[in-house]
Structure 1
Amino acid sequence: MNERVTPEPQRRRRRPTKQGIVLSQQLIIDTALRLVGQQGAGALTVRRLGISLGADPSAVYRYFRSTDDLLLAIADELIGRAQQGWQPTGDWRADLRAIGLRIHANYQAHPQAAMLAAHRTTGRTHEIAAVEAILGILRTAGFPGPEAVRIYHAFVDQSLGFAALDAAALALPAAARTADLQVWQASYARLDAATHPHITATAHLLATDMRRSGYPYALDLLLDAAEARLRAAG
């Protein structure tokens, strides 16, 4: 895609597409998310979007300057979906935990898109709202500015890092995902206690725990550390 974009007043397509749909930014984002979810990252092309929309691929230029511009819009859409319905309770720890779990769950619902978008910074509406909300929770709780920023940074990177990692696992073919999980039984559980006593002693626990994401526990560890720092600071 080129770097030209139609001015905002001229963007709306007056005639419906072949499928009777009037194009919009939101429709293109939703369609792109569906395509990536069904066919992987390679589906994010204007040609495939045009086919799915029943429109000439060049129509996408009216809304997005490039595929990267569209990808940033997808990233911001995922952030926005994670915020839908969330309301602060006034309990800073509970609020941060809820936001983190929402981010993680939403990215798991769109694993292919998560791998493309989790590491991007959009500077767009939903991301700005999320940054403002998280910093507001921390500063209202009593964390001074520098500490609030450091905790925000750790919190967001942890959330998105786990989201991308777990999304990559979910995006694996089913056979590969199953094979990976079976390694804990087929390999680790059969190690010799004489050479690997610690693995042998916990093999049954590993086989169970590695089937679920480590994110909720890691999130609680981070919040424990933040709470301890807040208490120490008085």
Structure 2
Amino acid sequence: MTGRRRWSTEEILDAAAELLRTSDAETFSVRKLAAALGTDSSSLYRHFRSKTELLRAVADRILLAAMNGYHAEGDWKQRLMALALHVRGAFGEQPQLAAIWGRYASSGTGSRLVMEEALQALRASGLPDEAIPARYHRTAVLIAALIASEAGISTVTPQEHEQGMELFRVAVLGADPERFPALAHFARDLRPLGADRRAAFEEILAAQIAQIEAEARPG
């Protein structure tokens, strides 16, 4: 009688990522993953001590994939923007994992590579060393929040999208001008949150970079 197949760590992470394409962190479980692999939960706990540790490892592989295609070029501002866009692009291919990254973070090689590049770029900006950790934290929170927000929008079904668009039209174009005068005034120029996400991402991040530049400027 042959025993159960022994799954490698990478195979487990592959299966977890695939399962997360059609679910989220709340409904995902080690038991479901084990069932998909045709094994029992105890065999997976030999690789990962908890569901959270497993989710962090899955998210870290996205960061690692982003850094595999990243090359530091240009000045510190270009490096920060390119880094953010690489991470955004990597999670854009698996948007369900973006929320997991924002919630659970990670501590693997991918995370360290992203942190190292961001910190090196910030040091090149001219900021004093004592100011860099706080500025790094604010930049990281901003990038994670923007990516998680985009992911939430990109995972809606076509039916949900159309329903959302109809609700947006009702809320904006149907606003009572006496009660909502500003909303009525700008109604035809307002766009839903899902529009021009990349442009919004770059503009918001550029504002953060400009603030860093002003802080680093001598005098």
TM-score with structure 2 setting the length: 0.85
Q: Which residue of structure 2 aligns with residue 175 of structure 1?
A: 159
Give, as a single letter, the amino acid of the residue that structure 1 aligns with 2:214.
Answer: A
Asked whether the 8 Å contact 1:188–1:200 carries over to 2, the reply is yes
Tell me how far apart the structure 1 counterparts of residues 206 and 90 of structure 2 sit (CA, whole Å): 19
Give, as a single letter, the amino acid of the residue that structure 2 aligns with 1:226.
Answer: I
1:215 aligns with 2:201: yes
Q: Which residue of structure 1 aligns with residue 24 of structure 2?
A: 40
**Closer, same or farther: CA 229–185 of 1 in aligned 2, 3 Å:** same
Asked whether the 8 Å contact 2:128–2:216 carries over to 1, the reply is no
Tell me how far apart the structure 2 counterparts of residues 85 and 140 of structure 1 sit (CA, whole Å): 22
Tell me how far apart the structure 2 counterparts of residues 111 and 157 of structure 1 sit (CA, whole Å): 17
Q: What's the CA shift for 1:137? A: 0.9
Of 51, 75, 79, 1:67 maps to: 51
Q: Which range is displaced more, 156-165 or 123-132?
A: 123-132
Give, as a single letter, the amino acid of the residue that structure 2 aligns with 1:134.
Answer: A
Q: What's the CA shift for 1:209? A: 6.4
- Specify every segment of 5 or more residues in structure 2 that has no aligned partner in the other structure, as ranges: none
User: CA RMSD for the aligned pairs?
Assistant: 2.4
**Closer, same or farther: CA 210–167 of 1 in aligned 2, 3 Å:** closer
Tell me how far apart the structure 2 counterparts of residues 50 and 91 of structure 1 sit (CA, whole Å): 46
Give, as a single letter, the amino acid of the residue that structure 1 aligns with 2:142.
Answer: Q
Choose between structure 1 and 2 for higher RCO, CA contacts under 8 A separated by at least 6 residues.
2
Tell me how far apart the structure 2 counterparts of residues 67 and 191 of structure 1 sit (CA, whole Å): 45
**Closer, same or farther: CA 55–208 of 1 in aligned 2, 3 Å:** closer
- Specify every segment of 5 or more residues in structure 1 that has no aligned partner in the other structure, as ranges: 1-14
Q: What's the CA shift for 1:96? A: 0.5
Tell me how far apart the structure 2 counterparts of residues 100 and 43 of structure 1 sit (CA, whole Å): 29
Q: Which residue of structure 2 aligns with residue 225 of structure 1?
A: 211
How does 1:25-36 map onto structure 2 within 5 Å? 25-36=9-20
Q: Which residue of structure 2 aligns with residue 92 of structure 1?
A: 76
Asked whether the 8 Å contact 1:33–1:74 carries over to 2, the reply is yes
Give, as a single letter, the amino acid of the residue that structure 1 aligns with 2:83.
Answer: I
Give, as a single letter, the amino acid of the residue that structure 2 aligns with 1:72.
Answer: R
Residue correspondences, number: 215
Tell me how far apart the structure 1 counterparts of residues 112 and 127 of structure 2 sit (CA, whole Å): 20
Q: State the SS of the aligned residue for 1:119.
A: helix
Note the alpha carbon deviations across 1:72-127, whole angstroms, 9 max, x for none.
Answer: 21121222122221111131111101111222232232222222231324332221
Asked whether the 8 Å contact 1:16–1:23 carries over to 2, the reply is no
Q: Which residue of structure 1 aligns with residue 100 of structure 2?
A: 116
Q: What's the CA shift for 1:163? A: 1.5
Tell me how far apart the structure 1 counterparts of residues 60 and 94 of structure 2 sit (CA, whole Å): 13
